[in-house]
Amino acid sequence: MDIPQLEDLGDVSGKSVLVRSDLNVPLQYDDDLDASIIDPFRITSSLPTLDYLIKNGARVTVCSHLGRPKGVPDPRYLMAPVRNYLKAIYPEIEVMENVRFNKGEEANDPEFVQFLIAGQDLYVNDAFGVSHRSHASVVGPPKYLKSAAGRLLSKEVNVLSGLLEAPKGPFVAIIGGAKVSDKIALIRAIEPKVDKILIGGAMAFTFLAAMGHSVGDSLFEVDLVEECKALLAGSDTLVVPIDFLGLQSSIKFGRGESGADPVSLGEDVPSGFRGLDIGPKSIELFIAEINHAATILWNGPMGVFEDDRFSRGTLAIANAVAESGAFSVVGGGDSAAAIDAAGLAPRISHLSTGGGASLELLEKGDLPGLAALRHGLVL
């Protein structure tokens, strides 16, 4: 992709460089609201760019969002834990306060852009996870400063765009998650380029409804049944689950719930029940496809995996992907978290730091943050 790289900035020694990273890591809080980092993956993925700049003598200021504080300071989303983490590695680095404490960030306010770039000579966008958002810190600075993509942004873009350009077949995509409305554009975009699309998560029920199956009280999107029907009719690419684990509709589910044992359900879910994970026969069916794939793209969990009773499908797929020997790309917060929790990250070829950003790049082939770098000051 034709975007300027760190080397294109020339000699950065003595220069002040503003780096936009995505340091939006999951946090947990103690009773005093002190936050600690649950998983530093996004921070560690951002280090190569900082390393390059610091080793080459730049004065580095990093900015990022953390959570969704809605344009006002919020004690839950202070940058302190992230700043401490980075300063322990690079004491000389400056870490600005959460850019989303200012309404100008999401509004892409030119005044906020001026505030961000004050005193800076150069700008680096390394925030892949937020490059689908036209926010001030993502799209603003390249209009005023000589700019480049950081190492993480470049790697994400190369891997994800390369995936659809010349994938080695068989190419199997695994798409899950709750809502088919979030993934339908992705399915449409990749359908002509992949051999199989394995559909998991609650979004499978909209496809099952389109095939005439009963879905009981399972989550499904009635508005999208016709669209799913059209997708199914035109292709032999889509593979939907043939069984599920679920619960009676009156029983609670979710993180920490464990009130009742899961029941086995077939591809027709009776009324009074809902499906919450793919079942053993579906796991077997999916693994058979995964095992002969040369390229795998995975986005979205197979069930309500944060409830231990319904994590089996997602974990089985995570293991199969890791063991497959295929070139594997995993994107999306939940599937990446499942891979990470299972300790499988080192066996995935590319674990993306972006959720929405990876979906949008695969769907559209471009992102506002990339366009800004391309159209900014000509180097």
Output the known binding site for (2R)-3-phosphoglycerate. Answer: 42, 100, 133
Which of 325, 357, 37, 314 is CA-nearest to residue 201? 314
Nearest approach, Cβ of residue 65 and ligand 3PG (Å): 7
Residue 236 neighbours by CB under 8 Å, 6+ apart:
none
Task: Please give the Cα distance from 147 to 376 (Å, whole number).
Answer: 7
Task: Please give the Cα distance from 286 to 361 (Å, whole number).
Answer: 25
Q: Please identify, using beta-carbon distances, which residue of 105 and 289 lies nearer to ligand 3PG.
A: 105
By CB under 6 A, tell whether 68 contacts ligand 3PG.
yes
**Contact flags string 118-147 toward ligand 3PG, x per CB under 6 A:** -----------xx--x--------------
Strand 244-248 to strand 273-278: parallel, antiparallel, or no bridges (unpaired)?
A: antiparallel
Task: Please give the Cα distance from 6 to 149 (Å, whole number).
Answer: 6
**Which member of 22, 156, 217, 267 binds ligand 3PG (CB under 6 A)?**
22
| Catalytic-residue membership of 42 | yes
Q: Please identify, using beta-carbon distances, which residue of 124 and 130 lies nearer to ligand 3PG.
A: 130
Nearest approach, Cβ of residue 371 and ligand 3PG (Å): 17
| Catalytic-residue membership of 356 | yes
**Which member of 3, 12, 17, 24 binds ligand 3PG (CB under 6 A)?**
24
For 356, the token pair is 């929405």
Which of 41, 66, 54, 37 is CA-nearest to residue 137? 66
By CB under 5 A, tell whether 355 contacts Mg ion.
yes
313-372 binders of ligand 3PG (CB under 6 A): 333, 355-356
Question: Any idea which residue has 């799209």 for tokens?
Answer: 139
For 100, the token pair is 């989303």
Q: Please identify, using beta-carbon distances, which residue of 70 and 292 lies nearer to Mg ion.
A: 70
By CB under 6 A, tell whether 299 contacts ligand 3PG.
no
Task: Please give the Cα distance from 318 to 320 (Å, whole number).
Answer: 6
Stretch that binds Mg ion, among 14-22, 82-90, 103-111, 355-363 (CB under 5 A): 355-363
